[in-house]
Every structure is written in C-alpha cells, then in structure tokens.
C-alpha cells in the first residue's frame, strides 16, 4: 500500500500580476522520506511554489493538499506551517527576536509548549546543530553563517515533518556550507531543496525536479 | 521611536557583546563592569522616570544645578565615555538654544538688554536657563541609567514592568532591524557612489536622493512582509511570548533605590527653600 503523500499539488496556477503568470498548471507530489531538488532559472517561481505550499500565497486555481487534506483557507494552512518548516532565503527575515534563545523558542511557544519544555527544546536543538552556548547571543550580531544555522534551528525546533529549504547554502563561506550540508544530509525529514548548489543537491537530493515555463518537469 | 533608536544604536555597538562575554568569563568581567551596570533594569527605568518627574517640577536654579550635578555623578558611576556624551548633549543643546533664543523676548518683565528694539526680560533669561538645565539634567541621567544598558535589556525591563507590549515590541523590532535597514541604506549609497554620484544642489541630486529614500521605504515594507510571513510560518497568531526571567533583586538594587529616593527628596527640599 502506498502511503498518503505529504503534499500534493494539482494543476496549480498563480500569477503576481495577471499579465505574467508564474505557475501554469504545476503538478507536484511529495511522499514521506522524499528528498527533492527543485531547480529552475531565476524568477521561474521556485520560491513562489514553496510559499504556495504553506499558504503564504494562495493559488488562483488548482488544488493544494497537505498531510492528507485539501488546504484552502488561512485556517487550514495554520496547521500546515508548523509541520512543514520553511527556511527563508534571507535569515534576517527569519530571525526577528533579540536573542537566539528567544528566536528558537518563538515557534514552540506558539505551538503551546510550556516554558520548561521550550527551554529543553531550545537547548536540544542548538546542541544538535553545534550551537551550544549561543542562547544569549544577540541575533543581529551573528555572522551570516551563524545566522543561517540559527534560522535552521528555529525551524527544527518545531519538529516539522517536511523541510522546505530556499537556497540554504546561498552566500555561505566554504566551511559553513560544508557544515550545513552535512547537517542537512543527516536530517530524517522529507525535503524540498531549492538551490543552484550542485554539491548540496548531490549530497541531499534523491529526485530532481525542474520548474520550466510554469510547470514541473522531472529530470 | 526614531530618536530612541538612533540613540540606542551607537551604544549597542559598544556594549552588546557584554552578556555573551560575561557568560564565557564570569570572573573577569565582574571587576571591570561599573557598579551601576548591575542594578536591575526595571529599577533604572523607574528611577529615571522619578528623576525626570522631579526635575521637571523644579523651578529654582540651585536645585536644578544640584540635579545636573547628580546626573553628572550618575554618568561618572556608569563610566560614560566623555566625548560621545558631550557630543550627544551638544546635539540637544544646539536644538534647545535655537528654541530658547526667543524666550527672553516673549516673557514680560524688567528689561535686561534690548536687541533691535526688542527688550529681553530677566525673567525670560532665567526661564531659558531653567529649561536648559532641566533638559540637560534629564538627558544626562537617561544616558547614565538607560543608555549604558544594552537596548535589548532595556526592552526586557520594559516588558517586565508591564509597559504596553505593543510599545515594547516596537522598540525591540527597531533595535533588531535598524542595523539591517542601515546596511541596506549603505549598500544603495555605495552603489550610487560607484556610479559616480556626488550630491550637488541640482534636480538630478534631488531626484536621485528621492529614489534612494523611496527605494529604502519600499524595501522596508517588503522586508516587513517577509518577516511577518516567516513569523506566520512559525505559528504566529498575534501573541508574543517573551522568554525572560528577572535576575533576583540584591543589596545593590536596594541601595540604589534608597539613594535615588533620598536624592529626589533632597531636590524637593532644596526647591522648597526660598533662595
């Protein structure tokens, strides 16, 4: 028996302005354990696709199913977002709390975890990414690489079933990039990775998909 | 909002890594840290408010000079850097002098001197000096008590004092993103310079600077939208949870509170004396 897919997008259409459609009938399925590389030229709509999956943007036509249920309204997606952790391209967008600990705690606290539990999660998550002792660091004083790792920690702290990674190794130095790749390769979650970084995709992805003229093509 | 942010940004760069460093080398930092820096943030906020309220109520020169001296003592205890402190006070005084210049001419009373046929009164000059002293005393105290604090610690202190949460978050967001926006501004500015832009007094300059600020605004709005999106991805539904714990109150805090109340009473007593 084939298990229910985590995500299923069928015939999704989307345009920021009606003259220039971004997605024109995109179909995509993500199963548990899938690790998909999402490639495509600049402006092809890769980020748009991820944002549609968690309801930050709404498809103008087509169907978005997540975790076995169709998702249409904001309320449907509120349940999807903690389960599908989205890592943003620019970590400055993601880290808005003064300190690292507060930023990592933001998600779990929103999910209704107690303070004691949250403190445990924060410590555990930071330790997992080799960020022990970063709790009281001030987010805007971190280096670009540290910021990316902390942003990943804020996503992982919610214990998502799927990771949606938007150019995770973009603008990282070689050392941090290698560290991030080995972290990502060791994570159990299903993933969609947007990247132009061949090295990353070779290590992490099992399946390659290309976004071309508004549709997804398996390659 | 703007003033508090631009005031706090420069101190941020000086003092921001203190807690992290303290964590790593607890013993070493104890000795070098000023006494005042370890007084509870909430207490410093309250004392600042108390001082400002008291000083605003003073009307005579001797108690006002005393207040300024008290603020000076606090600034020394906080080990404020002399140059930057004077620079900030000069910025305030430059503005104040401009405003106060007209005061002697508008308050009636015995003429002190006359300028271009307009008489400046003794009462007016006295009032101007009074306002100048008040502003400087309060500013100096704010810099000593609040400016020496990490902006984030100040935000947390405000939250723990149960100040309106919207205000606290506005403050913390400003602290967090002012540097990001500053970076964006500098990037745009450098890009302009790289293409030979030199500010002149012509329509091209005005238009370009207009574009620069317009672009900065658009980018800020877009960033705000992305930040909100990222927050929604992490389950944000309009409620913030601050994960802060107040440090236990110790003898230092009691001593500081006692000292402050005594000082405020002394100022009021001085005011009630007829000089």
The ipTM assigned to this model is 0.81
Buried/exposed B158-191: b ≥16 CB within 10 Å, e otherwise: bbbeeeeeeebbebbbbbbbbebbeebbeebeee
User: Which residue, B121, B175, B149, is CA-closest to B41?
Assistant: B149
What is the distance between the alpha carbons of residues B154 and B133, in angstroms, rounded to a whole number?
A: 26
Q: What pLDDT score does B23 carry?
A: 44
Q: What pLDDT score does B24 carry?
A: 42
Which residues of chain B neighbour A139 with C-beta distances below 8 Å?
176
A88 pLDDT band (50/70/90 cuts)? very high
B250 pLDDT band (50/70/90 cuts)? confident
pLDDT beyond 50 at A21: yes
Minimum-distance CB partner of B229 among A56, A136, A155:
A56
Q: What pLDDT score does B58 carry?
A: 92
Question: How near does any CA of chain A get to the CA of B272, in Å?
Answer: 45
Q: How many A-B residue pairs are in contact by the CB < 8 A criterion?
A: 89
Buried/exposed B89-123: b ≥16 CB within 10 Å, e otherwise: beeebeebeeebeebbeebeeeeeeeeeeeebbee
The CATH class for the domain spanning A7-218 reads alpha beta
Which residues of chain B neighbour A94 with C-beta distances below 8 Å?
227, 230
A209 pLDDT band (50/70/90 cuts)? very high
Choice among A163-172, A193-202, B2-11, B90-99 with the minimum mean pLDDT:
B2-11
Question: How near does any CA of chain A get to the CA of B241, in Å?
Answer: 7
Which residues of chain A neighbour B242 with C-beta distances below 8 Å?
102
Q: Among B26, B152, B230, B231, pick the best mutation site for testing chain A contact (most A Cβ within 10 A).
A: B230
B36 pLDDT band (50/70/90 cuts)? confident
pLDDT in tens, A28-47: 999 999 999 999 999 899 99
pLDDT beyond 60 at B2: no
C-beta atoms of A93 and B176 within 8 A = no
C-beta atoms of B231 and A109 within 8 A = no
Average pLDDT over every residue of B154-177: 89
C-beta atoms of A118 and B229 within 8 A = no
Which residues of chain B neighbour A107 with C-beta distances below 8 Å?
234-235
C-beta atoms of A96 and B173 within 8 A = yes
C-beta atoms of B20 and A78 within 8 A = no
B244 pLDDT band (50/70/90 cuts)? low
pLDDT beyond 60 at B20: no
pLDDT beyond 90 at B176: no
B198 pLDDT band (50/70/90 cuts)? confident
Instruction: For B171, name the nearest residue in chain A, comparing CA atoms only.
Output: A98
CB A205 within 8 A of CB A193: yes
Average pLDDT over every residue of A16-33: 92
Q: What pLDDT score does B273 carry?
A: 86
Average pLDDT over every residue of A191-195: 96
Minimum-distance CB partner of A107 among B177, B226, B234:
B234
Minimum-distance CB partner of A93 among B24, B223, B243:
B223
User: Which residue, A97, A67, A102, is CA-closest to A81?
Assistant: A67
C-beta atoms of B243 and A94 within 8 A = no
As a whole-number percent, the residues of chain B with pLDDT over 90 amount to 39
Q: What pLDDT score does B243 carry?
A: 67
Pick the more confident residue, B63 or A112: B63
pLDDT in tens, A33-87: 999 999 999 989 999 999 999 999 999 999 999 999 999 999 999 999 999 999 9
Average pLDDT over every residue of B190-218: 88
C-beta atoms of A138 and B17 within 8 A = yes
Q: What pLDDT score does B9 carry?
A: 37
C-beta atoms of A110 and B229 within 8 A = no
pLDDT in tens, B141-165: 999 999 988 888 898 899 889 899 8
Q: What pLDDT score does B18 carry?
A: 39
A2 pLDDT band (50/70/90 cuts)? low
Is pTM beyond 0.80? Reply is no
pLDDT in tens, B73-123: 999 988 888 999 999 999 999 999 888 888 888 888 888 888 887 888 888
B5 pLDDT band (50/70/90 cuts)? very low
B26 pLDDT band (50/70/90 cuts)? very low
What is the distance between the alpha carbons of residues A150 and A168, in angstroms, rounded to a whole number?
A: 12
């Amino acid at each position: 028996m084939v298990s229910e897919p985590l995500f299923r997008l069928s015939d999704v259409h989307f345009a920021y302005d009606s003259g220039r459609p971004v997605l024109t009938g995109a179909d995509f399925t993500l199963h548990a354990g899938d690790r998909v590389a999402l490639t495509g030229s600049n402006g092809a709509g890769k980020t748009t696709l991820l944002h549609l999956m968690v309801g930050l943007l709404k498809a103008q036509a087509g169907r978005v199913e997540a975790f076995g249920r169709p998702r249409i309204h904001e309320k449907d997606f509120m349940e999807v977002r903690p389960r599908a952790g989205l890592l943003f391209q620019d970590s400055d967008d993601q880290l808005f709390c003064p300190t690292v600990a507060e930023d990592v705690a933001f998600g779990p606290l929103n999910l209704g975890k107690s303070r004691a539990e949250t403190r445990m999660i924060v410590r555990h998550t930071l330790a997992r990414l080799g960020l022990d002792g970063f709790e009281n660091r001030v987010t805007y004083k971190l280096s670009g690489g540290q910021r990316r790792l902390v942003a990943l920690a804020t996503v992982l702290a919610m214990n998502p079933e799927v990771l949606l990674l938007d150019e995770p190794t973009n603008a990282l130095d070689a050392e941090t990039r290698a560290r991030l790749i080995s972290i990502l390769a060791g994570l159990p979650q299903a993933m969609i990775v947007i990247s132009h970084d061949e090295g990353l995709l070779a290590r992490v992805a099992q399946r390659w998909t290309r976004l071309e003229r508004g549709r997804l093509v398996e390659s | 909002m703007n003033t508090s942010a631009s005031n706090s940004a420069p101190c941020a760069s000086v003092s921001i890594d203190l807690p992290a460093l303290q964590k790593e080398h607890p013993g070493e930092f104890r000795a070098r840290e000023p006494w005042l820096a370890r007084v509870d943030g909430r207490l410093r906020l309250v004392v600042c408010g108390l001082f400002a309220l008291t000083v605003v109520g003073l009307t005579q020169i001797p108690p006002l000079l005393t207040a300024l001296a008290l603020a000076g003592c606090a600034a020394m205890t906080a080990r404020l850097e002399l140059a930057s402190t004077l620079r900030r006070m000069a910025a305030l005084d430059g503005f104040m002098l401009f405003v106060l210049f007209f005061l002697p001419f508008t308050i009636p009373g015995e003429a002190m001197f006359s300028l271009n046929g307009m008489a400046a009164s003794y009462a007016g000059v006295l009032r101007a000096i009074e306002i100048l002293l008040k502003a400087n005393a309060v500013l100096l105290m704010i810099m000593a008590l609040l400016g020496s604090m990490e902006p984030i610690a100040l935000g947390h202190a405000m939250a723990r004092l149960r100040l309106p949460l919207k205000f606290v978050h506005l403050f913390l967001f400003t602290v967090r993103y002012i540097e990001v926006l500053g970076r964006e501004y500098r990037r745009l500015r450098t890009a302009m310079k790289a293409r030979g832009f030199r500010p002149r007094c012509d329509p091209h300059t005005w238009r370009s600077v207009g574009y620069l600020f317009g672009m900065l605004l658009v980018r800020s709005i877009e960033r705000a939208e992305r930040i909100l999106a990222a927050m929604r991805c992490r389950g944000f539904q309009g409620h913030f949870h601050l994960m802060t714990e107040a440090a236990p109150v110790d003898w230092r805090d009691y001593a500081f509170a006692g000292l402050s109340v005594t000082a405020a009473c002394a100022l009021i007593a001085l005011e009630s004396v007829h000089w």
